[in-house]
Chains A and B, each alone.
Chain A
Amino acid sequence: MNDQSLKILKFAGLTVTVVGLLLFLLSPLIGEPISGNLAWFIEPIAYIGAVVFMLGSLVVIVSFQVIERRTKVVSGGRTWSQVTQDYFDTFAHDMGRPLRRILGKQREARAVLNETGEVSQHMVTELLDEIENQAPNFRLMIENVRVLVDLEDINAAPAVEPVDPAALVRNVSDRYTPIARERGLELVWWCEPSEFGLIYGDGSALDHMITNLVDNAAKFASGHVEIRLTKTASTFIVTVWDDGAGLVESHVPHIFDRGWTPELSARAEKQSSGLGLFIASSLAERCGGQLLVESQLSNDSSSGEHFTTFTLSLPLDNRTVAK
């Protein structure tokens, strides 16, 4: 049912309600009593008026509820339908990107096959590598969809469970080591102290934050990505460092904005969804911590060194924060 017909239904219901009420109230004047001895309120017209009134009210209530649900504000002044639309737009585009890359290589190989009757081994390997490389992108995107929907619920509390952050970092490193190698990068991680121990927090969220940070670093690094896990008396800190070109100062305030990518300011085609860092920083806040960025461009330093560091700090024990 569209919004227009809902409005018509609402006004029709209101009219019927008013007519019913009028019939009921005016029944002593316009009706004919069944018998002269009976009081006005048992006249048939009063009953008919009451029933019409109730029916009208019912239609009004139902149409109001439907309209209210449709325009319910989810968060940040956006309606549910806007949020849903946003997701479809974002993911139709983002899910398509890995697929486009795979299809591009596949079609190129097929064209060569049709033309010459055979495909070089190099081409096949390229296609296979592309498919393998895009798998982590799909994995991350599936998770990003889920987390984004979760983040819309402003009342949701993070889980609190015993988590081994060193094991999580190691798992993320395992996942990204082959990708880094393929891109000619060296990815290393370490933790201090070496027996890091457990923290109480949201393991799923932590895994997702680290994954997004490492994914981002592996996109921009020139040769090295480092993940370091350390702790203070009350927090643990995950530092993700890469030796990429660094962030232009004017980009820094936007880096955690939803949907922002560096290509946006250059009006070039977006190479990523611009959701990873937004998600990581939103999750960090939800878990009672914060995500900060520090960056240096080569012309900013005398040594010519350039880097970007993301520092994620979270409480060692989130049991009290969650309460």
Chain B
Amino acid sequence: MTSKRSGGGQKILVVDDEHMSDLMRSVLRRLETDGFKPIVVTPEGPHITGDDYEAQTLFAMETERPAAILLDVRFGEYDLDRFKGLSILKKIIDKDGSMPVLMFTQYSQGPYRDTAVNASLSVSGSVDFIDKLASPEEVVLRLRRLIGNAPETIKIGSLFELDADNAAVYVIENGRRELIREIQGMKLEILNELASAMYRSEGELVPFSRLERFSDGEDSRASLRVRIRELKVSLGRAVARDFGPNELIINVRNRGYRLVSPPDQQ
């Protein structure tokens, strides 16, 4: 995992009539551990329908100002509410066209999804779909990408922190950040490229072709290899460790490099 607290306290509005189910509770828990602040829409009354969820959602958008909304397509067993989530989606986008919305569908594909996708194509917001059986990790990754803007700082395990805006890498010790001065210029660019890929998707590899612009000389592959080694040594020195070939920055079968979170303890 890139960071335990990548959400940075951003509010996520959760609109699902089954928010008390175990499956949803595990998603809410995961959002919290990832640094998001889930806010569950819970209309009150004796006979709650999809309309109540709609009204409450639009109200909460104003009062809570969420960074994104997790929305179920289907509400209850009433035929009327079968695609209620889609009409709520339209209202959300009418209200705020830039609001990222991640929709839960029963299945990620099929006519059910097609109806949802077709409905979402008619709105111009950033909408994505995920099926309810998806793991909480998947939900968080998808939300992160949907919200889009990379965080100001990306944590690399619990040891390092990369601040792309200020072009700085820090080592974290007892909650305190200490600047690693020797990582800058091209080495910092390389680390930034690797960390951004890791933030987007754990399995994303950065191919040589994308990294070779940060190297020079006739043999750019060799020059890149040297820079990566120096980068690993500098990061290792900062925490008094020696990162092996299968740690921190890995050369994957001579196709490219991948950043992996270092374990807390050696």
Q: Which residue of B lies closest to A162 (CB)?
A: B121
Alpha-carbon separation in the docked complex, A174 to B204 (Å): 9
The segment from B38-46, B50-58, B85-93, B105-113 found at the interface with A is B105-113
The 8 Å CB contact of A143, one of B110, B207, B252, is B110
**A188: chain B residues within 8 A (beta carbon):** 203-205, 252, 255, 258
Residues on B with C-beta less than 8 A from A159 are 114
Partner of B200, one of A138, A139, A146, A170: A170
Interface majority SS on B: helix, strand, loop or mixed? mixed
Query: Is A146 touching B258 in the complex (CB atoms < 8 A)?
Result: no
Q: Is the CB of B256 within 8 A of A190?
A: yes
In the complex, A189→B197 CA distance in Å?
11
Q: Is the CB of B253 within 8 A of A226?
A: yes
Instruction: Decide: A171 near B131, CB < 8 A? Known: A188-B204, A188-B258.
Output: no
Beta-carbon contacts of A210-224 to B below 8 Å, as 1s and 0s?
A: 000000000000001
Chain A residues whose CB sits within 8 angstroms of the CB of B205 once the complex forms: 188-190, 226
For the complex, give the distance between the alpha carbons of A177 and B114 in Å.
Answer: 26
Beta-carbon contact of B110 and A177 below 8 Å: no
A187 touches B203 (CB 8 A): yes
Chain A interface extent, by class: 20 to 34
A246 interface hit (Cβ, 8 Å): no
- Given known pairs A146-B109, A174-B142, A192-B209, the reply for A224 and B253 (CB within 8 Å) is yes
How far apart are B88's CB and chain A's nearest CB, in angstroms? 22
- Bound-state CA distance A187–B131 (Å) is 22
Instruction: Please choose the segment from A7-15, A96-104, A115-123, A201-209 that sits at the chain B interface, where 4 or more of its residues have CB less than 8 A away.
Output: A201-209
Quick check: B109 and A204 within 8 Å, CB to CB? yes
- Please tell me if B201 contacts chain A, counting CB pairs below 8 Å: yes
Let me know if A173 is at the binding interface, CB within 8 A. yes
**Contact (A175, B134) CB under 8 Å given A143-B108, A194-B210, A204-B109:** yes
B43 to chain A, nearest CB (A): 31
When C-beta atoms are compared, the residue in chain A nearest to B140 turns out to be: A174
Interchain CB contact under 8 A, B253 and A190: no
B105-129 at interface with A (beta carbon < 8 Å): 107-110, 113-114, 117, 121
B133 with A204: CB separation less than 8 A: no
Asked whether B201 lies within 8 Å of A174 as measured between CB atoms, the reply is yes
With A203-B117, A226-B253 known as contacts, the answer to whether A139 contacts B204 (CB < 8 A) is: no
Q: Flag if B207 contacts A190 (CB, 8 Å).
A: yes
B-contact 0/1 string along A155-193, CB 8 Å cutoff: 000010100000100110111011000000011111010
- B110 adjacent to A192 (CB under 8 Å): no
For B113, the chain A residues whose CB sits under 8 A away are 204
Residue A58 CB within 8 A of the other chain: no
* B residues in contact with A173, CB < 8 Å: 201-204
124-148 of chain A: CB within 8 A of chain B: 132, 135, 138-139, 142-143, 146
B138 touching A175 by the CB < 8 A rule? yes
Assess the A190–B204 pair: CB atoms within 8 A.
yes
Contact A190–B206 (Cβ < 8 Å): yes
User: What is the distance, in angstroms, from A130's C-beta to the closest C-beta of chain B?
Assistant: 15
Query: In chain B, residues 236-264, which have Cβ atoms closer than 8 Å to a Cβ of chain A?
Result: 252-253, 255-256, 258
Tell me, yes or no, whether B33 is within 8 Å of chain A by CB: no
Measuring CB to CB, which residues of chain A are less than 8 angstroms from any residue of chain B?
132, 135, 138-139, 142-143, 146, 159, 161, 167, 170-171, 173-175, 177-178, 186-190, 192, 194, 203-204, 207-208, 224, 226
Known contacts A146-B107, A188-B203, A207-B108, then 15 further A-B pairs from the complex at CB < 8 Å, ordered by chain A residue: A135-B133, A143-B107, A143-B108, A159-B114, A170-B145, A170-B201, A170-B204, A171-B142, A188-B204, A188-B205, A188-B252, A189-B201, A203-B117, A204-B109, A226-B205
- A to B CB contacts below 8 Å, 24 in the list: A132-B135, A139-B133, A143-B107, A146-B107, A161-B121, A170-B145, A173-B202, A174-B142, A175-B138, A177-B203, A188-B204, A188-B205, A188-B252, A188-B255, A189-B201, A189-B203, A190-B205, A192-B207, A192-B209, A194-B210, A204-B113, A204-B114, A204-B117, A207-B109
